[in-house]
Amino acid sequence: MSARGFNYHGVWAIYRFEMARALRTIVQSIVTPVITTSLYFIVFGAAIGARMEAIDGVSYGAFIVPGLIMLSLFTQSIFNASFGIYFPKFTGTIYELLSAPVSTLEIVLAYVGAAATKSMLLGLIIMATAALFVPLQILHPLWMAAFLILTATTFSLFGFIIGVWAKNFEQLSLIPMLVVTPLTFLGGAFYSIDMLPEPWRTVTLFNPVVYLISGFRWSFYGTADVGVGVSLAMTAAFLLICLGAVWWIFKTGYRLKS
Confidence category of residue 45, pLDDT binned at 50, 70, 90: low
- 123-170 per-position pLDDT tens digit: 998 898 888 888 888 999 999 999 999 999 999 999 999 999 998 888
What pLDDT score was predicted for residue 59? 85
Sequence-separated (6 or more) residues with CB below 8 Å from residue 110: 10, 11, 12, 13, 14, 15, 18, 102
Mean pLDDT of the 189-203 span: 86
159 and 130 Cβ atoms separated by less than 8 Å: no
- 5-19 per-position pLDDT tens digit: 788 888 999 999 988
Could you give the C-alpha distances from 210 to 78, 181, 187, 253, in angstroms and in order? 18, 12, 4, 33
What pLDDT score was predicted for residue 258? 58
Q: Is the pLDDT of residue 1 over 50?
A: no
Q: Is the pLDDT of residue 199 over 70?
A: yes
Helix, strand, coil content of the chain in percent (nearest 5): 75, 0, 20
For residue 64, which of 79, 43, 78 has the smallest C-alpha distance?
Answer: 43
For residue 223, which of 75, 63, 109 has the smallest C-alpha distance?
Answer: 63
Q: Is the pLDDT of residue 74 over 80?
A: yes
DSSP reduced 3-state for 181: helix
Confidence category of residue 49, pLDDT binned at 50, 70, 90: low
What pLDDT score was predicted for residue 178? 86
Work out the percent of the chain whose per-residue pLDDT is above 70. Answer: 95
H or E, element range at 48: none
Cβ count within 10 A of residue 255: 14
Q: Where are the domains positioned within the chain?
A: 8-252
Confidence category of residue 47, pLDDT binned at 50, 70, 90: low
Mean pLDDT of the 14-28 span: 81
H or E, element range at 93: none
What pLDDT score was predicted for residue 57? 83
101 and 7 Cβ atoms separated by less than 8 Å: yes
Q: What is the mean pLDDT of the chain?
A: 86
- 239-250 per-position pLDDT tens digit: 999 999 999 998
Q: Is the pLDDT of residue 2 over 50?
A: no
What pLDDT score was predicted for residue 46? 66
DSSP reduced 3-state for 132: coil
196 and 229 Cβ atoms separated by less than 8 Å: no
